[in-house]
Chain A
Amino acid sequence: MTRVMRIILFTLLLSAAAARADIAIVINSDSDVQQINRSEAINIFMGRYRKLPDGSVALPIDQTPLRARFYRSLVNKEMAEINSYWARLVFSGQSSPPQQAASTIELVDIITHNTNALGYIDSDQVPASMRVLMTLRE
């Protein structure tokens, strides 16, 4: 009985993963920036530079539901590590974590109203008003 349950659960998980889309880093389509590479993405999201390739200020936005998946994809780290990273920097005050968006809707709202804001979203949910700068394959 337990074995059967386990097999069923495993199959469900697999199909869910297969069903999930990649994560896309997106920006307001009004922005001049066409795309960024992984390093630039890391630099922006981990607070090294707050600048886009074209020199304009970058405003990275975290999306709480996707946050764990995103960082695992981008820097291969768990949330605990990411939190610890930011906690270390609180004292120097030189850098701060990205702004938090509680949901995809809130994220879309922020990006739509701010050309410098960039965030991440399931690649199959990218609205027309946004440009995909980079796709993170899981």
Chain B
Amino acid sequence: MKCLSTLAHSRLALRAAAAIMLIVGLLGVCFLHLAVHFRAESEKDIQQTRLEGLVSTVERTAQIACFLEDTQLASEVTQGLLSNRIVRRASLSRNDGSLLADHITNSDHSSGTPLTRQIASPFEPDRTVCQLTLVPDQDWIDGQINEATRFLSVALLLQLLCIGLSVILVVFYFVTRPISDISQKLHALEAETGQKLATPGGHRRDEIGRLVTSVNTMIDRLVNSLSEERRQRLAREVEERRYRTLFDNVEVGIFELDDQGRLLSANPAFCRLFMAGEPFDIKAQPRVFTTLISEGGPTLRELTTRRARRDSVREWEMAVGKGDQRRWVNVMVSRLEEGRLQGVAHDITERRRAAEAAEKLAVTDPLTGLGNRLGFERRLSVIERYHRLHPDHRHALMMLDFDHFKQINDAHGHHAGDEVLRQIADILRAISRQHDFSARLGGDEFVVLLDHRTPRDDLAVIAQGLINSINQPLTLQNGQQVRLGISIGIAILGSDTRDVQTLVQLADKAMYRAKREGRNTLRFHDRHLAFDI
């Protein structure tokens, strides 16, 4: 039963047939009922009319028989009536109820409603002479009715059956068969190969044909959009591979950040630059970009503020790592989309080192490794700026001049002179503290810029220490020993002057005064003496 119901649900033809048969059956039952009812009624009427007709036929004879009370004639009439099978019993009775003639059939059929007719005198229509009673044979009448209705039922049923079958055939032929055809073909269709559905024969112009056309159009569109999509996907994959190769192999660090400055992705070059080659793990706790920087670069706030993010491209230089491992990186960050930043990092360590080396070369005396005149002047300008910011900090300048240095050159040659200069530089380096700066301005002219935290008394101690060191005999490479004297002039920025150029002059003058006043000694600038010279 369940199987049948499943089958009916899956087969349009079966369902349609079932529905049609049901409707035809219901209609058939109704029509049959009505038709049988009306046929039975009309058959009853026919039988009634027939009875009446029988009575009318024999009425004249019955009138005469009754009029004359002729039992023989009356009996003739009743017997004649009985020869009709519809009549079960026929009787003629006088007005007083006594029977003139009475005949009944032998059969044991049941009786119907009796039909009584008053029989008038043949000569006086107003005078009733007797009454004729006909008892119909109900079984026979029923039989007649049944026969009539049976024929009708069979005819009607056959007709309905034929109509139902015809409708089913028509529906099957014109609707369900083409549809199931199409469905099967559609199932087996390989649309990717550009196959099309064929229209079932004879349906080219009707709804089925249009359905097939629509399906074909849809297949076309689907195939087109599928191949277009495939093409685009391939193009995207190539693009993606190209980008991935670039991303993985380029020497430039590429990375993405979210709006909290956390790393979303990073390529191997970035990992080499910022994470000591440790590969980027997307599943690990995300690392904040700014924590990877050891010096320079933006703060997290600078990196992620809304206003900053609106700028098209921002650039920073920053240092990563410590000591010998320190690298300098140039980072450009641009906004990729809302809440997403993209950055490019270039390793600029070599360039920066080269620049630093060039800078250092420019301000260094090649012979002694101390600062040269350019270096000294730059240092002076730095101090000048510094002094302007902190007027109470007092930097001291020592101007050095070696006594009889020319004689060494003359006596031992330039090589010896150069060696002496290098040894002097070593001495200066030895007494210099971290923030002191020594430079050779040219020939045997040396200066020392001293840290501002040095008190005046200490300056004198340092200067005297220097004189003592210089006075020690210096041993040249060829074993010869030379002795040097030194005159030192000291001027202090802040107490003696506020101008660095004047400071140099004042120190120079103090140095000459030391030279004049006996050599191998030190002199502070003395403002009372300054104008005497």
A46 to B63, CA, bound (A): 13
B53-110 with Cβ < 8 A to chain A: 61, 64, 67-70, 72-73
- Residue interface mask B124-155, A partner, CB < 8 A = 1: 10010000000000000000000000000000
A57 to B121, CA, bound (A): 22
Query: From B129, which residue of chain A is reached at the shortest CB distance?
Result: A48
A68-102 with Cβ < 8 A to chain B: 74-77, 85, 88-89, 92, 94-95
Min CB–CB distance B31 → chain A (angstroms): 52
Tell me if B68 and A48 are in contact (CB < 8 A): yes
**Closest 10 A/B residue pairs (Cβ):** A75-B123, A92-B72, A42-B123, A94-B70, A92-B73, A92-B70, A95-B68, A48-B68, A48-B67, A46-B123
CB-CB < 8 A to B127: which residues of A?
39
A39's contact among B70, B72, B73, B124, by CB below 8 Å, is which? B124
Question: Assuming A38-B124, A42-B121, A85-B122, what are 5 further A-B pairs, CB within 8 angstroms?
Answer: A39-B124, A42-B123, A75-B124, A89-B73, A94-B68
A interface, CB within 8 angstroms of B? 38-39, 42, 46-48, 74-77, 85, 88-89, 92, 94-95
CB-CB < 8 A to B67: which residues of A?
46, 48
Query: From B74, which residue of chain A is reached at the shortest CB distance?
Result: A92
Tell me if A85 and B64 are in contact (CB < 8 A): yes
A48 to B130, CA, bound (A): 14
A88 to B64, CA, bound (A): 9
A2 to B69, CA, bound (A): 53
A88's contact among B61, B69, B121, B124, by CB below 8 Å, is which? B61
Min CB–CB distance B232 → chain A (angstroms): 116
Query: From B66, which residue of chain A is reached at the shortest CB distance?
Result: A48
Query: From B123, which residue of chain A is reached at the shortest CB distance?
Result: A75
Min CB–CB distance A31 → chain B (angstroms): 24
Tell me if B72 and A94 are in contact (CB < 8 A): yes
Query: From A38, which residue of chain B is reached at the shortest CB distance?
Result: B124
Query: From B67, which residue of chain A is reached at the shortest CB distance?
Result: A48
CB-CB < 8 A to B123: which residues of A?
42, 46, 74-77
Min CB–CB distance B503 → chain A (angstroms): 182
Min CB–CB distance B64 → chain A (angstroms): 6
A89 to B70, CA, bound (A): 9
A47's contact among B68, B73, B121, by CB below 8 Å, is which? B68
Tell me if A42 and B68 are in contact (CB < 8 A): no
Tell me if B64 and A42 are in contact (CB < 8 A): no
A38 to B123, CA, bound (A): 11
CB-CB < 8 A to A76: which residues of B?
123
Chain A CB count within 10 A is highest, among B61, B124, B127, for: B124
B124's contact among A42, A47, A92, A94, by CB below 8 Å, is which? A42
A89 to B61, CA, bound (A): 10
Min CB–CB distance B191 → chain A (angstroms): 100
A46 to B121, CA, bound (A): 11
When A88-B61, A88-B64, A89-B64 are in contact, do A95 and B124 touch as well, CB less than 8 Å?
A: no
CB-CB < 8 A to B73: which residues of A?
88-89, 92, 94
A77 to B60, CA, bound (A): 14
A94 to B67, CA, bound (A): 12
Query: Can you list 13 A-B pairs, Cβ within 8 angstroms, ordered by A?
Result: A38-B124, A39-B127, A42-B121, A42-B124, A48-B67, A48-B68, A48-B69, A88-B61, A88-B64, A89-B70, A89-B73, A94-B73, A95-B68
A89 to B122, CA, bound (A): 14
CB-CB < 8 A to A75: which residues of B?
122-124
CB-CB < 8 A to A47: which residues of B?
68
CB-CB < 8 A to A85: which residues of B?
64, 122
CB-CB < 8 A to A46: which residues of B?
67, 122-123
A66 to B357, CA, bound (A): 182
Min CB–CB distance B151 → chain A (angstroms): 42
A74 to B122, CA, bound (A): 12
Query: From A93, which residue of chain B is reached at the shortest CB distance?
Result: B72
Query: From A42, which residue of chain B is reached at the shortest CB distance?
Result: B123
Min CB–CB distance B94 → chain A (angstroms): 13
Tell me if B70 and A95 are in contact (CB < 8 A): yes
CB-CB < 8 A to B70: which residues of A?
89, 92, 94-95
A95 to B127, CA, bound (A): 21
Min CB–CB distance A76 → chain B (angstroms): 8
A95 to B67, CA, bound (A): 11
Tell me if A89 and B124 are in contact (CB < 8 A): no
A42 to B73, CA, bound (A): 20
Chain B CB count within 10 A is highest, among A38, A77, A95, for: A95
B306-323 with Cβ < 8 A to chain A: none
A76 to B123, CA, bound (A): 8
CB-CB < 8 A to B61: which residues of A?
88
A85 to B73, CA, bound (A): 12
Min CB–CB distance A44 → chain B (angstroms): 12
Min CB–CB distance A115 → chain B (angstroms): 25
Query: From B75, which residue of chain A is reached at the shortest CB distance?
Result: A92
Min CB–CB distance A10 → chain B (angstroms): 31
CB-CB < 8 A to B64: which residues of A?
85, 88-89
A48 to B61, CA, bound (A): 15
CB-CB < 8 A to A77: which residues of B?
123
Query: From A77, which residue of chain B is reached at the shortest CB distance?
Result: B123
Min CB–CB distance B70 → chain A (angstroms): 5
A42 to B69, CA, bound (A): 15
A39 to B121, CA, bound (A): 10
A108 to B84, CA, bound (A): 51
Min CB–CB distance A73 → chain B (angstroms): 12
CB-CB < 8 A to A92: which residues of B?
70, 72-73
